[in-house]
Chains A and B, each alone.
Chain A
Amino acid sequence: MSDNTNILVVGIGGQGVMTATEILAEAAIALGHDAKKTEVAGMAQRGGVVSSHLRFGQRVLSPQITPGTADVLLGFESAEAMRWQHMLKPGGITLMNTARLVPPVVELGLFDYPEDPLAEIRKSGNKVVAFDATTIAQNLGDIRLGNTVMLGAIADHLPFGAEVLLDCVLKRFQRKGEKLVELNRRAFEAGRAAVGQAEAALA
């Protein structure tokens, strides 16, 4: 259906891509949308590529996003953000973590890791905002907050308010205590601010 919003979340197995997409789906559902979330990640646990598709709107039919129709691409890793550029619609935007996760095939010298994925994406003419989610999470005291930083990063690029998404994120941590809720709130806001600042700098 043409009124669907298409969000593509990409990274590698173990980064939390599927969980992040599921939280985005929960937010869309909380607002009354129909939603479908899909990925092919059978062997992703072994460090493979993960691309998670979320479509929401009044009614969703195909679960997959057709190439050239994604509204937003949320990239947990630089080369992965680059890999999926063809999925974006004209005018779509990439929000990408600058982290570089180098696979064994590159370490073995069989392939090269792209010199500058951000520059490659810019060269293609697609809109892209880059930020260092890993360092932001580390500065907050725990690298595992990276997932929440990423969700904060996409919060102002959704057809609904950031608060709904933040609520869905925090709900996941409620049972684990107020301290973790607060940390995740800060991680979410830090991700949001990082994208805001990067966009302001580009404008």
Chain B
Amino acid sequence: MAAVMPVPAASRVLMSGNEAVARAVWEAGVKVAAAYPGTPSTEMLEVISSYPDLYAEWSVNEKVSLEVAIGAAYAGSRSFCCMKHVGMNVASDALMTLTLTGVIGGLVIAIADDVGLSSSQNEQDSRYWGRFAHVPVLEPADSQEAYAMTLYAYELSEKFQVPVILRMTTRINHVKSLVTVGERNEYVGAGFKKEPARFVMVPGNAGKRIPLMFARDIKLRELAETSELNFIEDGSDKRVGFIASGPAYMHVKESFPNAPVLKLGFSWPVPFEKCRELAAMVDQVVIVEEVEPLVETELKAQGLNVIGKEILPLQGELSPNVLKPAIARLLGEPVTETTALAPMQVFPRPPTMCVACPHLGVYYTLSQVRNLNISGDIGCYTLGAGHPWNALDTCVSMGASMGVALGMDKGRGEADKDKRVVAVIGDSTFLHMGMQGLLDMVYNKGNVTVLLLDNRAVGMTGGQNNPGNGYGIHGEEAPRVDFAKLVSALGVKDERIHVVNPYELPVLFKTIREEVKVPEVSVIITDQPCVLVKDYHKLKPFEVIDDKCTGCGNCIDVGCPAIHVTRRGKEVKPSGREVDLAFVRIETSVCTGCGLCVQPCAPKAIVHHVQTSPIQLVTKGGCAA
């Protein structure tokens, strides 16, 4: 993002939680901010990069982003790092030792938990990292708090020389609410001071740091007991008192306006005495936390008689329509039905690939090749598991397609002895965590055909720049990885590396069919850009000549959302077999003329909407021009 003039101090603005954190990072005088994109965290760094006076980078993965932030904090500057929940799994190796060295300049790690699975492969509770790594956890309940807690987190980080986790959820990251912003304060870093006993974590040094970490836990808990971020609001209805944090606090206040509530903003270490104080005020205590019963378990271990996940779900958001019936049942009251109407039955609308997406050609082709087991990965192309392709058989974690494919090859059973193993991975995912898997596959002599879908963008999160497309975070030119050279350097034989245009279906089909027969590692790189990148070349749209369409439906199997069925029919083949017919039209206003649907059309019923020259495919490097 290009630099913009920040909104003046004291302005009251509608901001998402992500925008609020970004503003606070800038105001705090942070010098270095790094992240890898991931829903719902992406906009934090996107917005940070639009502020002046700081360095922001898209890192290749979350671990590297945290390490960059650690380096800046060791150098005495304030630094920031953010990621989605699963990103912390990748970064955790660094975190677990960072907690021993601590920091000089403040370091805040914002982790966005996708509670409710809007765009993730699992649901995790990042508050665990506070406990695991012995670092404090702050949990905002709206954008204003996200802003204020980020500023406070830097003070806390420097006071205790500890990294601080800001635990957010989708319902904080993506909710827009009003924020009053402040002034920017310059923060001048102290500079790096060589101190091997602290910064060189070999056993002898680390062993001396561990007791300091446990001592810090005690100090942090004392602070949590008196922190203004943890407060009790009294209420007239003492039958149930609530302990809540994050968005769950808002849902509790909405649902039970007269109940006493302990709000935990500084939620780890848990302020046990504050919890006891609330417990003494009410008949029973209910812990409302998303997702895991962490506070609940710790309070039970303290001997407090509290209720939590016995009555509340272990999955998803705890909105008022979840809380109200649960508490009514607890109190033995009738459960009032708020919904006037049962939801009407309407078809599902799963996410689809875009019109003319280069992945369409890949999945159409994979759906036409028999006997494949396809190990998939994380990105837009995970959608290949859906209709009409059904051409992706596994999806685990970033980069997992490589190792999983090798394991499927080495571990194949008798039933799979004739199956070919294919791995599908995107450019950014490959650079994030796939390279090591490919190296392993080559070194261990696997029999896998890798499809490396290079669309020159982190597509699923909105097309961020990465080392694969040759642009930096501000859109400036940056060194671009040569994928063919890279996989060659990892040991893939040059004759097994093919760069293919995914819009040329016969070439793609032939290449895949030949390579899956070769009993070693092949890499097929597709080289056409994401249709959402800003300089995507649109071509002349196509239309269907109605008279010529035979209703065979081959074009529908491509899966392009610009193709619509106009009428259906049935035909009895000479063999007596009855087949369904689907006659189509193309929505020319959205068609970009990629030509994918033209190729399987036997009666040649798909022609240019306006008579023009033949299809011009985007040439290699065309997008970057």
Show the binding face of A for B, using Cβ within 8 Å. Answer: 1, 12-13, 22, 25-26, 29, 34-49, 60-64, 66-69, 79-80, 82-83, 85-86, 88-90, 102-114, 120, 124, 126, 143
| B112-120, B195-203, B273-281, B401-409 - interface stretch | B112-120
Cβ contact within 8 Å between B564 and A124? no
Cβ contact within 8 Å between A104 and B175? no
Cβ contact within 8 Å between A124 and B341? yes
B575 close to chain A: CB less than 8 A: no
Q: Which residues of B contact A109 (CB under 8 A)?
A: 565, 568, 580, 582
Q: How far is the CA of A104 from the CA of B174 in the complex (A)?
A: 28
Q: How far is the CA of A63 from the CA of B16 in the complex (A)?
A: 12
Cβ contact within 8 Å between A47 and B14? no
Cβ contact within 8 Å between B321 and A67? yes
Cβ contact within 8 Å between B343 and A83? yes
Task: List 26 A–B pairs whose Cβ atoms lie within 8 Å, in order of A's numbering.
Answer: A36-B175, A37-B14, A38-B174, A40-B174, A42-B40, A42-B118, A43-B118, A47-B349, A47-B354, A47-B561, A48-B351, A61-B250, A61-B251, A61-B253, A62-B319, A68-B338, A69-B338, A80-B349, A83-B343, A83-B344, A85-B344, A86-B340, A103-B349, A107-B556, A107-B582, A110-B387
Q: How far is the CA of A86 from the CA of B251 in the complex (A)?
A: 20
Encode contact with A along B472-507: 1 for CB under 8 Å, 0 otherwise.
000000000000000000000000000000000000
Cβ contact within 8 Å between B383 and A46? yes
CB-CB contacts below 8 Å: B287-312 with A? none
Cβ contact within 8 Å between B344 and A86? yes
Among A29, A62, A88, A90: residue with most chain B CB under 10 A: A62
Show the binding face of B for A, using Cβ within 8 Å. Answer: 14, 39-40, 114, 116, 118-120, 142, 170-171, 174-178, 247, 250-251, 253-255, 257, 317, 319-321, 338-344, 346-354, 380, 383, 387-388, 460, 462, 532, 556, 559, 561, 563-565, 568, 580, 582, 589
Cβ contact within 8 Å between A36 and B340? no
Give the residue of A12, A26, A35, A69 whose beta carbon is less than 8 angstroms from that of B177.
A35
Instruction: Give the nearest-CB partner of A48 in chain B.
Output: B351
Give the residue of A35, A62, A108 whose beta carbon is less than 8 angstroms from that of B254.
A62
Give the residue of B39, B178, B255, B352 whose beta carbon is less than 8 angstroms from that of A47.
B352
Cβ contact within 8 Å between A68 and B339? yes
Task: Tell me, rounded to whole Å, the shortest Cβ–Cβ distance linking B323 to chain A.
Answer: 10
10 nearest A-B pairs in the assembled complex, by CB-CB distance: A42-B119, A46-B351, A111-B347, A42-B118, A43-B351, A62-B254, A61-B254, A68-B339, A48-B351, A68-B338
Cβ contact within 8 Å between B559 and A43? no
Instruction: Give the nearest-CB partner of B253 in chain A.
Output: A61
Cβ contact within 8 Å between A35 and B14? yes
Q: How far is the CA of A103 from the CA of B347 in the complex (A)?
A: 9
Instruction: Give the nearest-CB partner of B532 in chain A.
Output: A45
Instruction: Give the nearest-CB partner of A54 in chain B.
Output: B176
Q: How far is the CA of A124 from the CA of B559 in the complex (A)?
A: 35
Q: Which residues of A contact B171 (CB under 8 A)?
A: 38, 63-64
Q: Given the interface contacts A43-B119, A112-B347, does A89 sit within 8 Å of B340 by beta carbon?
A: yes
Q: Besides the contacts A42-B170, A90-B340, A108-B387, what 4 more A-B pairs have beta carbons closer than 8 Å?
A: A43-B351, A46-B354, A49-B349, A67-B339
Cβ contact within 8 Å between B349 and A12? yes
Q: Which residues of B contact A107 (CB under 8 A)?
A: 556, 563-565, 582
Q: How far is the CA of A79 from the CA of B346 in the complex (A)?
A: 7
Cβ contact within 8 Å between B339 and A37? no
Q: How far is the CA of A24 from the CA of B276 in the complex (A)?
A: 44
Q: Which residues of B contact A12 (CB under 8 A)?
A: 349
Cβ contact within 8 Å between B462 and A45? yes
Number of A-B contacts (CB under 8 A): 164
Q: Given the interface contacts A29-B14, A35-B177, A61-B250, does A47 sit within 8 Å of B344 by beta carbon?
A: no
Q: How far is the CA of A110 from the CA of B171 in the complex (A)?
A: 33
Q: How far is the CA of A42 from the CA of B171 in the complex (A)?
A: 12
Among B253, B254, B255, B340: residue with most chain A CB under 10 A: B340
Give the residue of A37, A40, A68, A105 whose beta carbon is less than 8 angstroms from that of B340.
A68
Cβ contact within 8 Å between B568 and A48? no
Cβ contact within 8 Å between B352 and A104? yes
Q: Which residues of B contact A89 (CB under 8 A)?
A: 340
Cβ contact within 8 Å between B344 and A120? yes
Cβ contact within 8 Å between A42 and B556? no
Instruction: Give the nearest-CB partner of B257 in chain A.
Output: A1
Give the residue of B14, B321, B344, B460 whose beta carbon is less than 8 angstroms from that of A25.
B14
Q: Which residues of A contact B346 (CB under 8 A)?
A: 79-80, 82-83, 114
Q: Which residues of A contact B321 (CB under 8 A)?
A: 66-67
Cβ contact within 8 Å between A66 and B320? yes
Q: How far is the CA of A64 from the CA of B342 in the complex (A)?
A: 18
Q: Given the interface contacts A25-B14, A79-B347, A82-B344, does A67 sit within 8 Å of B338 by beta carbon?
A: yes
Cβ contact within 8 Å between B347 and A25? no
Q: Which residues of A contact B339 (CB under 8 A)?
A: 67-68, 86
Cβ contact within 8 Å between A108 and B251? no
Cβ contact within 8 Å between A105 and B387? yes
Task: Tell me, rounded to whole Å, the shortest Cβ–Cβ distance linking A25 to chain B.
Answer: 6
Q: How far is the CA of A62 from the CA of B352 in the complex (A)?
A: 31
Cβ contact within 8 Å between A47 and B343? no
Q: Which residues of B contact A46 (CB under 8 A)?
A: 351-354, 380, 383
Cβ contact within 8 Å between B118 and A40? yes
Q: Which residues of A contact B257 (CB under 8 A)?
A: 1
Cβ contact within 8 Å between B387 and A104? yes
Task: Tell me, rounded to whole Å, the shortest Cβ–Cβ distance linking A90 to chain B.
Answer: 5
Q: How far is the CA of A1 from the CA of B250 in the complex (A)?
A: 11
Instruction: Give the nearest-CB partner of A39 in chain B.
Output: B174
Q: How far is the CA of A49 from the CA of B171 in the complex (A)?
A: 17
Q: Which residues of B contact A124 (CB under 8 A)?
A: 341, 344
Cβ contact within 8 Å between A36 and B319? no
Cβ contact within 8 Å between B556 and A40? no
Q: Which residues of A contact B565 (CB under 8 A)?
A: 107, 109
Q: Which residues of A contact B559 (CB under 8 A)?
A: 104
Q: Which residues of A contact B340 (CB under 8 A)?
A: 68, 86, 88-90
Task: Tell me, rounded to whole Å, the shortest Cβ–Cβ distance linking A116 to chain B.
Answer: 12
Q: Which residues of B contact A104 (CB under 8 A)?
A: 352, 387-388, 559, 561
Q: Which residues of B contact A63 (CB under 8 A)?
A: 142, 171, 175, 177, 247, 250
Q: How far is the CA of A45 from the CA of B317 in the complex (A)?
A: 23
Q: Which residues of A contact B342 (CB under 8 A)?
A: 86
Q: Which residues of A contact B344 (CB under 8 A)?
A: 82-83, 85-86, 120, 124
